Chains A and B, each alone.
Chain A
Amino acid sequence: MNATPGQAPVKSIMPKWVRNPQDFIGGIAMMAIAVFALWASSDLQGMRGFSFGAGTAPRMFAILLLGLGAAITAVGVLTEGEHLAKYHWRGPLFVTLAILSFSQTIRPMGMIFAAMTSFLIAACGSPETRWTEAVIVGACLTAFCALLFPYALGLPLQLLPTFMIR
């Protein structure tokens, strides 16, 4: 699935003894999450006699995850595996920006503005975007959503910017 044929094998930044970097990093990340969860739940009450406190279950699952993460990391050292997959920055960056822009503009500017701008920002995520086409489709989609959500589905969505309503 990865669009990296024909490229020279990515030079691994991993030390040689890590034979399966994908699992190695994955396991470490799981352990990091578990440690973070243990820290985050450290202020919660634990077992009282035989009854569970608020912190018991989170800690239980976190310790389980810690163990599993360690096991996955071990697998990463002991078995032969794939190199780290190549990450692309363009798609994730612009999709994230579009989502952020939407969340920041929806309240003050209303849905029509928010949807249209984030459509255009998201469209930057692909090198194949043709702008006239994107603007037309974006406008149509915005119009469709403006009819679908507040009218057809009856969800309370503000369409226009706040300053125009007042």
Chain B
Amino acid sequence: MGDLFSNLGLGFSVVFQFVQWTPAFLGGTSIPIPVNILLCLIGALVGTLVGVLPGIGTIATVAMLLPITFGLPPVGALIMLAGIYYGAQYGGSTTSILVNIPGEAGSVVTALDGFQMAKQGRAGPALAIAAIGSFFAGCVATVLIAILGAPLTKLALAFGPAEYFSLMVLGLIFAVVLAKGSVLKAIAMIVLGLLLSMVGSDIETGASRMAFNIPELADGLGFATLAMGLFGFAEIIRNLDAGGESDRELVQQKVSGLMPTGKDIKDSTPAILRGTVLGSILGILPGGGAVIASFAAYTLEKKISRTPEKFGRGAIQGVAAPESANNAAAQTSFIPLLTLGIPPNAVMALMVGAMTIHGIVPGPQVMQKQPELVWGMIASMWVGNLMLLIINLPLVGIWVRLLRVPYRLMFPSIVIFCSIGIYSVNNAPADVIIAGAFGLVGYWLIKHDFEPAPLLLGMVLGPLMEENLRRALLISRGDWSVFLTRPLSAVLMAIAAALLVLTILPTLRKKRDEVFVESEN
């Protein structure tokens, strides 16, 4: 317990760090500036700003904004990225409530009841409950990360290469099980990601692999480049197909009366509590994250409600539960990343990419060697959530106005912004071309119903998996059974196999499809 408080204390001291700023025009007077809080605030604001834009999901938002954090010191960059992440999520729920266009998959269910509430002129309370629920969930999740962080790190240190490999296999299988659509295609996407991650030079021998003597490929495909191509450019091209100005059913009434009534709060409190618990658990599981959590929370509320007929017609529980679950899961999904170094979903994969760019190799060592980084980020999440609550509600008017920006102006802007961002990573024009090529690949994948998110996960895990597989086999002197004879590894593999079998079984598949269909209608 003492550890917990000292760790959180360290975290908050990092967040509330003041840097003396001595601008020349003040003639030597220095002003203390809370740099990290400012970065957190900017991140949350910019994240919301981009997340609100229709058709741009959380992954695309984080990918697009990655380059603006490159110039910062590592702690600041990660704090800002985390801010961008939950800002984007919050932006997504704002659009689903106000315009019925979920900015990201996780807020699809919020749109069901949120938009109905907005139509009844209760957009204010819906937004407020979403924010309050998110904040509460964020608080709980922050504490949970702090509690689970240290013990899980200890567990991780007991892991050998074989266990690590098995854990990654399990993570990837989870991603497949929870992905939408065909299981086969999701696995194919992961393997394609693994294959793409092999481009570049071999870690052990330094041999150039599949780089065709192209100097830009010698170091491998840039992670940020690939992500921006697959999510930034591909999204734009696809949205252009859909004919940008499609039905945007904007709630025209003024958003007035933000405060929820006493009854609203009484109705939504248990829903927020249940959503938080469910979201926290589902977030830790690899592959799931926010999307599945919000679906599950909504379904649960509807099941146990005494008035299930109200759902879909503006029930406040239908907003409170998925939003809390969404946010709780978004934050607890940091746990596997920070303790084990394994990203459980595509957004966390992007965080790994950002860490690598700053020279940090995520894993249990980070928690020990750079505690200020990890705990600073954890503490910043709580601060960021508080900021979202305080800042975003008054800014709802601005977000609504942003929604009216026509797509014809938005998409060229995104193209330029992404191009400059990609170029600035390495000052390499070739990176921009590679990203453009992956934009076309991503467009093709979407057209053929392949989901690009598992690809990103495979891309990040590829080098890690190869390294651990190599080491495990080297230690076992080429004996493949090592993955089944070491107890921990065997358990992980068994869970992975069981999950895969369960997914392929027809009955469960039907159930799984039902969940997704229900969420889409």
Contact = CB atoms under 8 A, between A and B. Distances in A.
A150 to B, nearest CB: 9
B71 A155 contact: yes
A119 B439 contact: no
B321 interface: no
Contact of B188 (A22, A69, A149): A69
Q: Most chain-B Cβ atoms within 10 A of its Cβ — which of A53, A62, A95?
A: A95
A96 B407 contact: no
- A interface majority secondary structure: helix
A148 B424 CA distance: 12
B412 A122 contact: yes
A92 B479 CA distance: 49
Given A26-B449, A88-B241, A126-B411, A57 B469 contact: yes
Contacts of B518: none
A147 interface: no
A163 interface: no
Contacts of A44: 202, 207, 209
A130 B409 CA distance: 9
Interface string A103-114: 110110001001
A105 to B, nearest CB: 9
B366 to A, nearest CB: 25
A30 B188 contact: yes
Interface string B238-260: 00111111100000000000000
B237 interface: yes
Contacts of A106: 423, 429, 432
A33 B188 CA distance: 11
Interface string B199-235: 0001011010110100000000000000000000100
B367 interface: no
A161 interface: no
B205 A95 contact: no
B182 interface: yes
Interface string A59-94: 001101100110110010000001011011011100
Given A118-B416, A153-B68, A156-B427, A3 B242 contact: yes
A119 B413 contact: yes
Q: Most chain-A Cβ atoms within 10 A of its Cβ — which of B435, B436, B479?
A: B436
A91 B408 CA distance: 11
A2 interface: yes
Given A26-B449, A72-B188, A141 B416 contact: yes
B184 A71 contact: yes
Contacts of B412: 98, 118-120, 122-123, 125, 134, 137-138
A51 to B, nearest CB: 6
Given A30-B188, A55-B209, A69-B188, A96 B240 contact: no
Given A26-B448, A71-B184, A154-B71, A95 B415 contact: yes
Given A22-B449, A95-B236, A118-B419, A126 B184 contact: no
Interface string B465-495: 0100110011001110000000000000000
Contact of B433 (A29, A91, A100): A100
B148 interface: no
Interface stretch (B189-197, B342-350, B381-389): B189-197
Interface in A40-64: 40-41, 44-45, 49-55, 57-58, 61-62, 64
Interface residues of B, number: 69
A88 to B, nearest CB: 5
A3 B207 contact: no
A63 B413 CA distance: 41
B440 to A, nearest CB: 6
B243 to A, nearest CB: 4
B402 interface: no
A141 B412 CA distance: 10
B16 interface: no
A139 to B, nearest CB: 12
Nearest to B207: A54
A96 B439 contact: yes
B319 interface: no
Contacts of A120: 412
A68 B187 CA distance: 8
A22 B445 CA distance: 10
A96 B477 CA distance: 49
A29 B448 CA distance: 10
A74 B149 CA distance: 45
B244 A99 contact: no
Contacts of A30: 188, 192
B205 to A, nearest CB: 5
Contact of B447 (A49, A87, A142): A87
A128 B209 contact: no
28 contacts: A23-B448, A30-B192, A33-B192, A50-B473, A50-B478, A52-B474, A58-B210, A62-B195, A64-B191, A65-B188, A65-B192, A65-B195, A72-B184, A75-B184, A88-B241, A96-B439, A96-B440, A102-B432, A107-B429, A111-B420, A119-B416, A122-B416, A126-B240, A134-B409, A141-B417, A145-B416, A145-B417, A157-B420
Given A29-B448, A106-B423, 4 more contacts: A3-B243, A30-B192, A92-B237, A155-B71
Interface of B: 67-68, 70-71, 182, 184-185, 187-188, 191-192, 194-195, 198, 202, 204-205, 207, 209-210, 212, 233, 236-237, 240-246, 406-409, 411-413, 415-417, 419-420, 423-424, 427, 429-430, 432-433, 435-436, 439-440, 443-444, 447-450, 462, 466, 469-470, 473-474, 477-479
